[in-house]
Amino acid sequence: MAVDLTQDPAVADLARRTAEFVRETVIPAEEQHRGIARTEDVRLGLQRAAKAAGVFAPHVGTEFGGHGLDMRGRAAVFEEAGYSLLGPLALNIAAPDEGNMHMLEAIATDAQRERYLRPLATGAVRSCFAMTEPAPGAGSDPSALTTRAVRVPGGWRIDGHKWFITGADGAGFTICMARTSGEPGDPGGATMFLVDAGNPGLKTVRHIETLDESLYGGHVELRFENCVVPDEAVLGEVDEGFRYTQVRLGPARTTHCMRWLGIARRSQDIAVERAADRRLFGSRLGDLGMVQQMIADNEIDIAAARGLILQACWELDQGRSAAQSTSIAKTFCAEAVWRVVDRSLQICGSLGVSGDILLGRFLREVRPFRIYDGPSETHRWAIARRVLRRHTEATAAATR
């Protein structure tokens, strides 16, 4: 079955309007704040402007005030939003909120959607997703989960230690992954819980200093200590949390790729402008063969990344697991975006290193993407295992 790359006219129009909004409204704010929104005034102001421009929440269903785009539609719009570090925040499609909205829309009860998804979709609150733990807990291997939830009268008590929880500072609620059966290393036995801000059992330990700074709400270390939640706080079914994470993780990895592809394009545009205008050694910088090669390699990486994203999106829209295609897209895009930003900075020379343009900020922001949502090495391991498993199964079938 062929992959249809034709954009729906409504999607193309929304992508065009998003591009205009980002260039006219978001980039000036990004330059003013050096790519980092530190206050609610900045976030809410950008989101009000996005609503006024009619580009807010492109991913959420129309029932909750969004545009209801499928994954292929999101690819076009998210890339345009990602042209600025603050674009995803403005459209309310930044991590982790975007992935949490996707999951809540898919598996939450009607009551949970009204209580948590609706205010999240409008930007009235933010959220976080608490799965990652300090070693030897859950990280690249979610089955190492050590945080535990046990039944108590009327609900559950959660105890555990989480870290690198993006967006936790100021989040209105947390989706916490906790083990409800089995032991660390077991493939099942996890459950997701909705934990409201202000729960006395949820404590902030510290803000973790990181290379990147643009993700709103930072990266935070948390402790759940005698954190009691009611039965209706269970998201999905008990012991099925690992299965439900696949609803979130595949699409979330892919939307990360979409957003960072926008920054790769922005970096390339900055470099091309510099190469076209800067003169040295009697000619334009862009007339030098080595610079032309870097520009060409950037174009190749951007085009290849976009193609892999669309392949993954098509599979997700078909209802497939898309585990292999999302891993391939995530691994390639994380490394390709880094290469594009790095080459662009090199083309711009001392200007690129300086704070006069944002390429240095972009470089710091994109580097962790090779670790977030699964390190490249973990994805390569999983990709290879699937290939070998297919070969083994095909060989066995042929010998029957």
Nearest CA-CA partner of 120 in 181, 57, 197, 195:
57
What is the distance between the alpha carbons of residues 123 and 89, in angstroms, rounded to a whole number?
A: 10
Torsion of Cα atoms, 98 then 101 then 103 then 109, to 10°: 170
DSSP for residue 368: G
Using CA atoms, how far apart are residues 336 and 371, in angstroms rounded to an integer? Answer: 14
pLDDT for residue 399: 86
Pick from 178, 260, 195: nearest CA to 233: 195
The domains of the chain, with CATH numbers, are 9-94 (1.10.540.10), 127-235 (2.40.110.10), 242-398 (1.20.140.10)
Going residue by residue through the chain, which has 400 residues, state the pLDDT in tens, using 9 for 90 and above: 565 677 899 999 999 999 999 999 999 999 999 999 999 999 999 999 999 999 999 999 999 999 999 999 999 999 999 999 999 999 999 999 999 999 999 999 999 999 999 999 999 999 999 999 999 999 989 999 999 999 999 999 999 999 999 999 999 999 999 999 999 999 899 999 999 999 999 999 999 999 999 999 999 999 999 999 999 999 999 999 999 988 888 899 999 999 999 999 999 999 999 999 999 888 999 999 999 999 999 999 999 999 999 999 999 999 998 999 999 999 999 999 999 999 999 999 999 999 999 999 999 999 999 999 999 999 999 999 999 999 999 999 988 7
Which pLDDT value is given to residue 282?
87
Rounded to whole angstroms, the Cα distance separating 26 from 334 reads 24
Residue with the two structure tokens 């060409």:
296
Residue 382, phi-psi category: left (phi > 0), alpha (psi -120 to 50), beta (remainder): alpha
pLDDT of 322: 94
Count Cβ neighbours within 10 Å for each residue of 235-248 and write b for 16 or more, e otherwise: bbebebbbebbebb
Residue 4 confidence (pLDDT):
63
CA-based radius of gyration for the chain: 22
10 Å Cβ neighbour count for 388?
10
Q: Using an 8 Å Cβ cutoff, are 250 and 201 in contact? A: no
pLDDT of residue 252: 93
φ, ψ (nearest 5 deg) of residue 328: -65, -45
